[in-house]
Each structure stands twice: as structure tokens, then as C-alpha cells.
Amino acid sequence: MAPKQQRDPEATRAALLEAAETLFLEKGFGNTSLSEIGRQAGITKSLIHHYFGSKEGLWREVKTRRFMQYAQEQMNMINGAEPTAELLKESITLYFNFLHRNPQIVKMLAWMFLEQDQNECLDMDRELIHSGVEKVRASQGEGQLRDDIDARFILFVFIGLCEHWFHNKDHFLNSFGLDDIPGNLDQAYLEAITKIFFEGVRPAS
């Protein structure tokens, strides 16, 4: 009798996460079954329970694994820098580029919103947001940013501008067109919102 092949636990986890992410983003959490995930990964359904406990546990792991690397990088930037307007620009650029490199995250955010399933990411995000808001407030106190706007709104608006682009870029392409937009479209949008946000839309005096 041939010896029973040993399965690599890390490779098994990775295969399940890849399969789950593909199906969750295609169909949503509610419309995806553990059997489908097992078939996609070529792994028995029982191993999903073994590694993740439940479908909810697997979905939680899918949501956190991509976000955690960005969150740590952003937190390191915030904690290691002085409170300046330039820090806010760099922080938003980091988030925009993260979404650009990870289109899966954009779809994940959309499904989480549609299914009202944002608790885990909100928990992860809360510390990061708190640190960001405190840094914006410190920048306001240093005279780097105007202090007649709540720091929470400043940060929330910039986050929304980034996410809106990746959710609705097709609308821009179909309705506004690309005439006279130079170079990379994503970069052109990032430069535009940064300029509008920090300089406004009125002509420079």
C-alpha cells in the first residue's frame, strides 16, 4: 500500500483562502457555500472547519489578510512622522495606491456594504482611523491645516474620494471620456483630487 500523502497545512490554508476569496468576491458571502469553496480548492469541506471553524471564520480571514499589511504600513507612517499637511497627502496616496494594487479589496468593500457585514474590518480600522484623526488634529494645531473643519470629516472625505474612484471608474470612462487626459488615468485622478482638496477649485490669486 502506498504511503498516505501528508498535506502541507500552510499550503492548504492558502488554497482555501484563495478559493474562498475568488468565490466570495464573485458571488458574495451569502451566496457562496463551503462545498463550492472546497471544490474550487480541491480540498474536502471538513478541512475548512478544521482550519477556520466556519464559513464566517473563513470570510473573516479573507477580509483581514489583505488589509492588515496596508494597515501596518499606514500606522508606521502616521506614528513616525510629524503632523504636517504633507503627511496627509502621503497617507492618502498610500491608501489610493493600495486600492490600485488590490482591486479585490474594492470588490470586498462593495460586498461588505451590500451585505451589511463590516464589523471585522471596522474593528481593524478603528485604531488606524483614531491615529489618523489625532494626527490631523495635531496638524491643525500646528497651523498646517485649517482648523474650522472637523478632523474626522477631513479624513473621511479623502478616504471616500479614493474609494469612489475605484467603485465608479467605469462611469467616468463611459460618461466623461479620456480626451486630453495625459498619462496614467489613476494617477491623473489622484493628482486632481489632491490638488482640489488642498488648493480648492477657485483660480489661484
Q: In CATH terms, are 1-53 and 63-199 the same topology?
A: no
- Given a cut of 70, whether residue 101 has pLDDT beyond it is yes
The length of the chain, given as a count of residues: 205
Q: According to the model, what pLDDT value does residue 196 have?
A: 92
Q: What is the pLDDT of residue 124?
A: 64
pLDDT (0 to 100) of residue 89: 94
pLDDT digits (tens, 9 = 90+) for 105-143: 787 777 777 666 555 555 667 888 999 999 999 999 999
The string over 180-189, giving b where at least 16 C-beta atoms fall within 10 Å of a residue's C-beta and e elsewhere, is eeeeeeeeeb
**Where along the chain do its domains lie?**
1-53, 63-199
Residue 27 has pLDDT above 50, yes or no: yes
**Residues 67-93: tens digit of each pLDDT:** 888 888 999 999 889 999 999 999 999
The CATH architecture to which 63-199 belongs is Orthogonal Bundle (1.10)
pTM above 0.85, yes or no: no
Answer whether 74's CB lies under 8 Å from 135's CB.
Answer: no
Closest CA to 185 of 96, 91, 109, 107: 96
Which residue in 124, 112, 13 sits closest to 71, CA to CA? Answer: 124
CATH tag for 1-53 (out of 3.40.718.10, 1.20.1250.20, 1.10.3470.10, 1.10.10.60): 1.10.10.60
Residue 4 is predicted with a pLDDT of 42
